[in-house]
């Protein structure tokens, strides 16, 4: 190796070290997953129910290796039997840091008492929020008002009828038995929470099982009402959802709407992501079928 070659080699090493030194570390690293939808059942179409356990184990191992501070699970943890949670939850407990759950429509199969389901998933309430650093994470429950969530005989039954009638009146396509919405109480809670976050200069991410846009026929029953509230607040930086296993993306009035790909789909391709939050940007780094995105913060 001549002196010129040696010089170039040294410069290349120095450039590599400089690039690494200049790359900022994320404020938070967060695991994201949706639609594990495990069942001890035969494959149907592109849904490989039993394979979800192996994928989830691989996901947990990687999230631990990547040292995420916590993970968010966007629902449809099981497909049809609440007893299948006994196979899924021990794997999720393998995460070295907390996992924050919300439910999906499939999670209510054969459930008679919703509170028992929330307790098993260690959800502090039907819908809730939590803060980390200068970020607020809102976990909506878009299954709160739905035909499958034990609303018969309660005040929510009337709200469900109103939602369905409103969709049919405009010939909408999401008045389906697998879609749900949020109640007027949850909507009021969301509005109040966002007003406080804006006043405190918090940055907000909203998570839900059902997408609020860009998933025709699969959005929350009252997504239009939710989006009207969302549109009032510049503190919201993204809407992140599951339910639509193919995944989807679009901007609603400039706001990124990301629908994560479902883990249950395909025999061997996994689907999860790591969300990295920086002072001036955030990034979703997809694994397997999950797409990656980068966004700047205002």
pLDDT over threshold 50, residue 38: yes
For the stretch 99-146, pLDDT in tens is 999 999 999 999 999 999 999 999 999 999 999 999 999 999 999 999
Q: Which residue in 97, 132, 142, 98 sits closest to 240, CA to CA?
A: 142
What's the pLDDT score for residue 270? 98
For the stretch 139-196, pLDDT in tens is 999 999 999 999 999 999 999 999 999 999 999 999 999 999 999 999 999 999 999 9
Q: How far apart are the first and last CA of the chain?
A: 50
What phi and psi, each to the nearest 5 degrees, are found at residue 57?
-60, -45
For the stretch 256-274, pLDDT in tens is 999 999 999 999 999 999 9
What phi and psi, each to the nearest 5 degrees, are found at residue 101?
-105, 150
pLDDT over threshold 80, residue 16: no
Query: In percent, how much of the chain has pLDDT > 70?
Result: 92
User: Confidence band (pLDDT; 50, 70, 90) for 6?
Assistant: low
For the domain with range 25-296, which CATH number is right: 3.60.21.10, 3.20.20.60, 2.60.40.10, 3.20.20.105? Answer: 3.60.21.10
* Mean of all residue pLDDT scores within the chain: 94
Over residues 42-61, mean pLDDT:
98
Rg (CA), the chain: 21
Residue showing tokens 């001890």: 40
User: Confidence band (pLDDT; 50, 70, 90) for 2?
Assistant: low
Under 8 Å between Cβ of 184 and 221: no
What's the pLDDT score for residue 10? 46
What's the pLDDT score for residue 182? 98
DSSP state of 61: H
What's the pLDDT score for residue 298? 84
d(CA 48, CA 295): 32
pLDDT over threshold 70, residue 17: no
For the stretch 219-260, pLDDT in tens is 999 999 999 999 999 999 999 999 999 999 999 999 999 999
């Amino acid at each position: 190796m001549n002196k010129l070659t040696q010089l170039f080699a040294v410069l290349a090493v120095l450039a590599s070290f400089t690039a690494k030194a200049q790359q900022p570390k994320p404020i938070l690293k967060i695991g994201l997953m949706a639609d594990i939808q495990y069942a001890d059942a035969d494959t149907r179409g592109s849904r490989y129910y039993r394979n979800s356990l192996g994928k989830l184990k691989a996901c947990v191992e990687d999230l631990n290796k990547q040292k995420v501070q916590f993970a968010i699970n966007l629902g449809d943890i099981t497909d049809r039997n609440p007893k299948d949670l006994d196979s899924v939850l021990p794997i999720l407990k393998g995460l070295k840091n907390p996992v924050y759950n919300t439910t999906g429509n499939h999670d209510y199969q054969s459930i008679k008492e919703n509170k028992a389901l929330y307790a098993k998933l260690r959800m502090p309430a039907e819908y809730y929020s939590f803060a980390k650093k200068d970020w607020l994470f809102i976990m909506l429950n878009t299954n709160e008002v739905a035909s499958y969530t034990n609303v018969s005989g309660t005040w929510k039954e009337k709200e469900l009828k109103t939602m369905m009638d409103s969709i049919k009146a405009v010939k909408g396509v999401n008045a389906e038995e697998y879609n749900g919405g949020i109640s007027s109480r949850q909507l009021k809670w969301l509005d109040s929470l966002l007003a406080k976050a804006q006043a405190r200069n918090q940055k907000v991410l909203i998570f839900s099982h059902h997408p609020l846009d860009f998933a025709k026929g699969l959005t929350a029953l009252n997504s239009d009402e939710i989006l009207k509230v969302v549109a009032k607040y510049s503190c919201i930086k993204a809407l992140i959802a599951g339910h639509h296993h193919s995944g989807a993306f679009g901007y609603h009035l400039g706001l990124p709407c990301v629908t994560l790909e479902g883990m249950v789909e395909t025999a061997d391709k996994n689907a999860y992501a790591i969300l990295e939050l920086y002072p001036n940007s955030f990034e979703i780094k997809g694994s397997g079928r999950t797409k990656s995105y980068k966004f700047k913060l205002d």
